[in-house]
Amino acid sequence: MALHNFFTVDLGATSGRTILASFDGAKMELVELTRFENPILPLGGHLFWNLPHLYNEILKGLKKVASQGVSIDSIGIDTWGCDFAFFSDDGQLLGLPYCYRDPHTDGAQEKFFAKMPSGELYRRTGIQFMNFNSVFQLDTLLRNGCSALKAADKVLFIPDALSYMLTAEAVCEYTVATTSQILNAQTGDLDPEILNALGLERSRFGRMVRPGEKIGVLTEQVQKAVGMGPVPVIAVAGHDTGSAVAAVPAESADFAYLSCGTWSLLGVEAPAPIISDDSFRENFTNEGGVDGTIRFLKNICGMWIFEQCRKDFRDAPENVGELVALAGTTDFASLIDPDAECFAHPASMTSAIDDYCRATAQAVPSSPAEYCRLIFRSLAFRCRQVVGLLGELTPVRIAALNVIGGGSRNAFLMQCLADALGLKVICGPVEGTAMGNALVQAKAAGLCDSLSSMRRISKASVELAEYFPKRNMDSEYSRFLQIQKQYNNTL
């Protein structure tokens, strides 16, 4: 088979990459082209994303490919979920997109529930409740009289906004739309009653597309700017977790996945939405996946706490690997609930941890090593708690945990997970999101025919690491639950 090349854009909440994925018929090889920061911009009392910066970085990646004389088959873009951008009827960007971490949505859920009760919203969407879900962001902007929203002809989620800037075609990609808590889980389109509660028209969101559909081709302006022809832009799983889960190298259905990055998304794959009183009570979500699958999962805190603590550390290794290794040099035993609200956006993450430990009568960390150990062990126990809930809410009998994303390189955390869960932990691909993005493009090109074939290619393309339980953590897990309950009782 001739070599096929796919240009993948993978944008996370802290950084982005453009990657050239080359497929020889058996394996997918990923080569990073560019890497860049994606900083949150504090401006005018709010937090924003610099969308023009991200667009320009995509152009830089395309120019680099063109300068190397590489012909690409297509382009695919994946990003984080929930956020969106506004465009005028002549295609101009109206202001910068709000960042989901902007605290303007604090308390927004309760205000929207006056329009539509929480139970009805969950029944329609099957999506977990988080302040920054698109439905609450949009309602907040409407209540605050946002001028950009008032003037907007198009409301496009972030991957769709970037595709629009490249192609002038406005679409609403299914997997990222499911994160909004506006999409109806049964119909697969935006829910008219929720839109009515927001006072927004369906036409403003673009046509619905599924992973593998063609969005359009590069505009003539972009073609001239980057030195390429009319390259197709494909709707991959626009939500980065959807792309990552598509690359899980699983051979059967009895697995759970953990997409481990700034956020940790822990769940199982289901053929249809799971919407029940129990899933509503436990705040589980039903997000769209590739080939009609549903990602039944729970958002839990990932490496966010660690990333924010690094900003506070003094005299600590700058190298992440060296810093992570410090966790194994101490027996510090304090724990936190990583999903406690106090860790959402504190002014100082180490201070927030200190306060949590004091509130639960535990020792306060005194070194980077102790903070790291506390964070990683707490994440592992929180994962065990969620895996237990998955066992109660779904028919999946979990035999292993597949970890994808950058966090899979954290050997200390991976061993903690194996010990806490009492399960085999399979790690890889590290670049799971970019791999899934490229595999959807390959499927769109007719080079593979199903999700299972995509996963076989993923497994053949990477070297996996495996971790097995080494010690029983039941007593320490019980202590974690007690600490979690103790803190919640103080609120």
Candidates 240, 337, 339, 419; catalytic one: 240
Residues 28-39, mean pLDDT to the nearest whole number:
97
Q: 313 pLDDT exceeds 90? A: yes
pLDDT value for 206: 96
Q: 262 pLDDT exceeds 90? A: no
Q: Provide the phi-psi class of 107: left if phi over 0, else alpha when psi is between -120 and 50, else beta.
A: left
Q: 106 pLDDT exceeds 90? A: yes
- The whole-angstrom distance between residue 310's C-alpha and the CA centroid of its chain comes to 21
Q: Which residues is 264 bridged to in the sheet?
A: 260, 300
Q: Which of 6, 12, 5 is nearest to 260 (CA)?
A: 12
Q: Which residues is 296 bridged to in the sheet?
A: 268, 286
| pLDDT digit string, tens, across residues 205-230 | 999 999 999 999 999 999 999 999 99
pLDDT value for 305: 96
Q: 236 pLDDT exceeds 80? A: yes
Average pLDDT of the residues of the chain: 96
Q: What distance, in Å, lies between the first and last C-alpha atoms of the chain? A: 61
Compute, in degrees rounded to 10, the torsion defined by CA atoms 232, 234, 238, 241. -120
Q: 1 pLDDT exceeds 80? A: no
Is the whole model's pTM more than 0.85, yes or no? yes
| pLDDT digit string, tens, across residues 35-66 | 999 999 999 999 999 999 999 999 999 999 99
The domains located in the chain, with CATH, are 4-240 (3.30.420.40), 248-428+449-491 (3.30.420.40)
Task: Measure the CA–CA gap between 211 and 236, rounded to whole angstroms.
Answer: 5
Tell me the pLDDT band of 261, cut-offs 50, 70 and 90: confident
**Is 73 in the active site?**
no
Tell me the pLDDT band of 463, cut-offs 50, 70 and 90: very high
Residues 310-332, mean pLDDT to the nearest whole number:
94
Residue 464, burial from CB neighbour count under 10 angstroms (0-12, 13-18, 19+): middle
Query: Quick one: tokens of 199?
Result: 């006072």
Per DSSP, 79 falls in state: B
Task: Measure the CA–CA gap between 28 and 435, rounded to whole angstroms.
Answer: 8
State the Rg of the chain over Cα: 22
Tell me the pLDDT band of 299, cut-offs 50, 70 and 90: confident
pLDDT value for 406: 86
Tell me the pLDDT band of 410, cut-offs 50, 70 and 90: very high
Task: Measure the CA–CA gap between 215 and 156, rounded to whole angstroms.
Answer: 13
Q: 336 pLDDT exceeds 80? A: yes
Q: How many CA atoms lie within 13 A of 295 on its CB side?
A: 30
Residues 239-245, mean pLDDT to the nearest whole number:
94
CA angle 309–310–311, rounded 5-degree value: 90
Tell me the pLDDT band of 90, cut-offs 50, 70 and 90: very high
| pLDDT digit string, tens, across residues 340-383 | 999 988 999 999 999 999 999 999 999 999 999 999 999 999 99
- The whole-angstrom distance between residue 388's C-alpha and the CA centroid of its chain comes to 22
Tell me the pLDDT band of 251, cut-offs 50, 70 and 90: confident
Q: 263 pLDDT exceeds 90? A: no
SS3 state at 291: helix
Q: 468 pLDDT exceeds 90? A: yes
